[in-house]
Amino acid sequence: MNLLILGATGRTGREVTRVALARGHHVTVYVRSPNKLGPERASLRVEQGDALDTERLSAALVGQDAVVSALGLPAKLALRPSNFMAEAAAATVAAMKRAGVGRLAIVSAAVLFPQKGFFYAFFRWFLRHHACDLSAMETVVRATDLDWTIARPPRLVTGDDEPLRIAQGALPDKSYKLSFRALASFLVECVEQRRYGGQIVGLAR
Ligand SMILES: NC(=O)c1ccc[n+]([C@@H]2O[C@H](COP(=O)([O-])OP(=O)(O)OC[C@H]3O[C@@H](n4cnc5c(N)ncnc54)[C@H](OP(=O)(O)O)[C@@H]3O)[C@@H](O)[C@H]2O)c1
């Protein structure tokens, strides 16, 4: 499969890149800072550009089968009001339509589930600005006729691949954290096997 990855220099995106290469896919990364790529750079097609640049992104998307988007904001910015995630999703969707690419798996967050309890309530408050931006991002994606999947993981941590619990439209019970690698495996399998189309999925270890 020809796969384009957004956010490939980030913690999730780096793992998505490694998983996709290990599974034999032809991987293109669309990044603004190619110097941040690791040794896997030699096995990649690298396109440089900003995620908000629809023109450049659509040119990079020609001939691709699917997109995995693991874009994010640095913690400092995610705690302030922003509409980057929503704007980047709008640019991604427009570029995919222009290039004729139909399959998208995109990372959102478990904080959007209305889970009960102090733990979840605290993070909903703490991450309220980012959650608002992610909610707008999801609205953009859900309004398209693309074959999309929105993954909502809990807190992400460094670690090996691990078995996943997946729930459609809900957060699995006691979902507190998950490895970047396990999320990456889910995202790649999702586009590869065309699973969970048109669904928001909650994930947990
Ligand atoms: N981390 C967690 O615990 C956690 C938990 C749940 C959900 N999530 C969600 O998972 C997603 C990814 O998180 P992460 O921790 O992997 O993010 P990250 O490490 O901060 O990586 C973000 C990626 O987005 C790229 N990016 C940002 N602005 C860009 C722009 N204008 N143009 C092109 N690329 C741009 C960054 O590129 P540069 O390297 O050039 O900056 C980087 O590759 C986020 O949306 C977050 O909401 C994260």
Q: Show the domains of the chain with their CATH numbers.
A: 2-204 (3.40.50.720)
Atom 18 (ligand 1): residue with closest C-alpha?
10
Q: What's the gap in Å between 125 CA and the centre of ligand 1?
A: 20
* Closest ligand 1 atom, residue 12 Cα: 16
Which residues have CB under 6 Å of ligand 1? 7, 9-13, 32-33, 36, 50-52, 70-72, 74, 107, 109, 134, 153, 155-156
What's the pTM value of the predicted model, to 2 decimals? 0.98
- The whole-number average pLDDT for the span 124-149 is 97
- Percent of residues, the chain, with pLDDT higher than 90: 94
Q: Which helix (H) or strand (E) covers residue 176, if one does?
A: none
Structure tokens at 57: 């992104």
Indicate the pLDDT class of residue 147, thresholds 50, 70 and 90: very high
The count of other CB atoms within 10 Å of the CB of residue 25 is: 19
CA–CA dist 36, 10 (Å, integer): 9
The answer, yes or no, to whether residue 169 has pLDDT greater than 90, is yes
Choosing from 32, 80, 126 the residue with most ligand 1 atoms within 8 A of its CB, the one to mutate for a pocket test is 32
Whether the CB-CB separation of 66 and 106 falls below 8 Å is answered with no
Share of the chain above pLDDT 70, in %: 100
Mean pLDDT computed over every residue of the chain: 96
Report the pLDDT value the prediction gives residue 205, as an integer from 0 to 100: 92
Distance 109 CA to ligand 1 centre (A): 12
Structure-block tokens of residue 127: 């991450």
Residues across the chain: 205
DSSP 145-156: -SEEEEEE--EE
Confidence of residue 174 (pLDDT cuts 50, 70, 90): confident
Residue 56 has pLDDT above 90, yes or no: yes
Dump pLDDT digits (tens) for 68-78.
999 999 989 99
